[in-house]
Chains A and B, each alone.
Chain A
Amino acid sequence: AQSVSQHNHHVILSEAASLELGCNYSYGGTVNLFWYVQYPGQHLQLLLKYFSGDPLVKGIKGFEAEFIKSKFSFNLRKPSVQWSDTAEYFCAVNAPRDDKIIFGKGTRLHILP
């Protein structure tokens, strides 16, 4: 069965710091990978996704993620965070032709102004 592991449950950074949130998945075959974000008081929305091709994926608001197949990882990065990046971030995975997307438990990111 597929599963997703997010290593950090709660991260606190100062503005302008660099960010990397870890995500590992367990599934032996081809996967589609996602990062979703939930800003305070808002609904979940897609940040970026990887289906195939260039393993370095760029998303909205300066976020990017790198798919490393050998490590079963899809870490999220941002060179310089802003206070407005305070949110909860969820990594998710699904196998093509599967009908469910499995989410990690989330990482709560708090940016200090």
Chain B
Amino acid sequence: KAGVTQTPRYLIKTRGQQVTLSCSPISGHRSVSWYQQTPGQGLQFLFEYFSETQRNKGNFPGRFSGRQFSNSRSEMNVSTLELGDSALYLCASSSLTRERDTGELFFGEGSRLTVL
């Protein structure tokens, strides 16, 4: 069974540009979460999608947005990039139901964004 796939793996952008990151969850998983990982800050929750609906959102500015498609694939977008947006962006999928009875997240390898 293929794992969580994130593209691109690495990218370099300049301040003011925008970026779109893609995540394909494990087949059958309907929940996709996004996290930002930076040294010293650990993983910070961005948002979580289930069946194309954003169920929860972290404390990030509106420049960070996401969506989920009917096949459960998800994208996140960051507009007007700032230097501080440089990070590893992780996507995780799970087979969670609304009751969240499993709780295990399966992570991709991440998309490493560098903003110059």
Contact = CB atoms under 8 A, between A and B. Distances in A.
Interface residues of B, number: 29
Contact of B109 (A43, A100, A104): A43
A105 interface: yes
B42 A105 contact: yes
B15 to A, nearest CB: 26
Given A98-B56, A103-B43, A105-B41, A32 B105 contact: no
Contacts of A105: 40-42
B99 A99 contact: no
A102 interface: yes
B35 interface: yes
Interface of A: 6, 9, 32, 34, 36, 43-46, 49, 51, 90, 94, 96-106
Interface of B: 3-4, 31, 33, 35, 40-45, 48, 50, 55-56, 58, 90, 92, 98-101, 103-105, 107-110
